[in-house]
Amino acid sequence: MKLQTRLSLLISLIILIGSASIGLFAINTSYSSQLKVLDSTVDSAIKELRISKDDPLSLSTYLADQSILKFSVDYITRDLDLISLFESNIELATVPTKNQLVNSLEAATTLEELRLRTFQISQGEYLALYFSLSDLNQSRQKNISFLFIFTLIVILIGILLTTLLFRKDIQLNALVNSLTRNQERMREFIGDASHELRTPLTVIKGYFELLGKGGIDPKKQASYNNRIESEILRMQEIINDLLFITELEEFDDSIEHKSEISKLVGEFVFDLRNLQPNREAISNIEPGLMAKISKFHLEQLLANIFSNLQRHTPIDSKIEISLSRKNGGVELIIEDAGPGLPESFYQGGIQAFKRFDKSRSRLSGGSGLGMTIMEKIVSKNGGKIRLSASKFGGLRIQINLP
């Protein structure tokens, strides 16, 4: 997640929690204050009923009629029958229970959308004084809606201010990250180059020391020169492969590429059959397939695969190449009858094969970076590569591309 996104989310969360807490506290405080004012009006009527010697029924209707807060008054008999004495803007839908009547004697209680206070006339007889909470609840709901809108506006302003204030810092951070990545790539490139070039340089140095001693047979001298030349060519191949790997790291995989994979695989099979006519090459290539990979990368991938086939398998051994549609993408499978790999290398996966690739390339030529290049090409283009033993006893390479 980008720094700007994290900052925006953090500030939005702080604003949301702060605004919601303060706003809800203010709304609830206001609601409680208004409710106390309304309760006090009914409490005053109850107090008047307690101290007056007038008829409670008549007095209660008089007090309700004269009150600024219009409340309703009902008489509740011993049998819990309900008789309306004064009706304002609300009436009891059901008769309160005994417990509700008793609980409302000393303090008002809330019953759904109304506030109830009771006065006991005699044993089992009550006056119920109550008023509607509808307006008060609607006002609170409206305030909550306003709070939500206000909080949303403040969050948007906060995000905008964050973007403006931290834009330069974010750009600087992106530049630092880019430089760090480039430095890491350069360090990796230098490390790989020094490791891969150490062997050919040692060989060249050794032959130069032999040539420097003098008195060498002309045939041996020619042989030494040939070995020096071959090692120089190998160094050149290693450097080219390392540069290609570095370029792969910079590849913009956000741009979609498409290549005619059926056509290109067919061309490589055709070349292999012409170069090695004694080899039995079986091909099952589904025509017209396209893969989401650049043509250049696909050519490099196939060049490494077929180069390995020619270099590491007997010239008259069998190979099978199949290309088909699979799970919305394409699947390329190459099976050979070469020496294959030890079982431990298959279990070790692609990393183990990379080590094996380097060791055998020193014996048969090549840079030893073929599998590294293949894996990076496939992964950079959103695919997967898997190695296993083939049905012919050699190596099986399975490549899936989108």
pLDDT in tens, 59-86: 888 888 888 878 888 898 888 888 888 8
User: CA 97 to CA 238: how far, in whole Å?
Assistant: 93
What are 316's two structure tokens? 């008259």
pLDDT in tens, 280-318: 889 999 999 999 888 888 888 898 888 888 888 888 889
**Which residue has tokens 């010697």?**
53
**In 3D, which of 307, 322, 319, 314 has the Cα closest to residue 369?**
307
Extended strands (E) in 310-382: 318-326, 329-336
For the question of whether the overall pTM of this predicted structure is more than 0.85, the answer is no
Beta strand 125-132 with 280-285 is unpaired
What structural domains and CATH numbers belong to the chain? 17-132 (3.30.450), 140-248 (1.10.287.130), 254-401 (3.30.565.10)
**Residue type at 68 in one-letter notation:** I
Note down pLDDT in tens along the chain; length 402 residues.
Answer: 565 566 667 777 777 787 778 878 888 888 888 888 888 888 888 898 888 888 888 888 888 888 887 888 889 888 888 888 888 877 887 888 888 888 888 988 888 888 888 999 988 899 988 888 888 888 888 888 888 888 888 778 877 777 776 666 666 777 777 777 767 766 766 666 676 677 778 888 888 888 787 777 888 788 888 888 888 887 887 777 777 777 776 666 657 788 899 999 999 999 888 888 888 889 999 999 999 888 888 888 898 888 888 888 888 889 999 999 988 899 999 999 888 777 766 666 665 455 555 545 544 445 456 777 888 888 888 889 888 888 988 888 899 999
- According to DSSP, residue 97 is labeled P
Beta strand 109-111 with 280-285 is unpaired
| Angle at the Cα of 165 from the Cα atoms of 159 and 169, rounded to 5 degrees | 115
Whether the CB-CB separation of 371 and 354 falls below 8 Å is answered with yes
Whether the CB-CB separation of 86 and 131 falls below 8 Å is answered with no
User: CA 161 to CA 141: how far, in whole Å?
Assistant: 30
Whether the CB-CB separation of 231 and 200 falls below 8 Å is answered with yes
123 class by beta-carbon count within 10 Å (0-12 exposed, 13-18 middle, 19+ buried): exposed
**Residue type at 325 in one-letter notation:** R
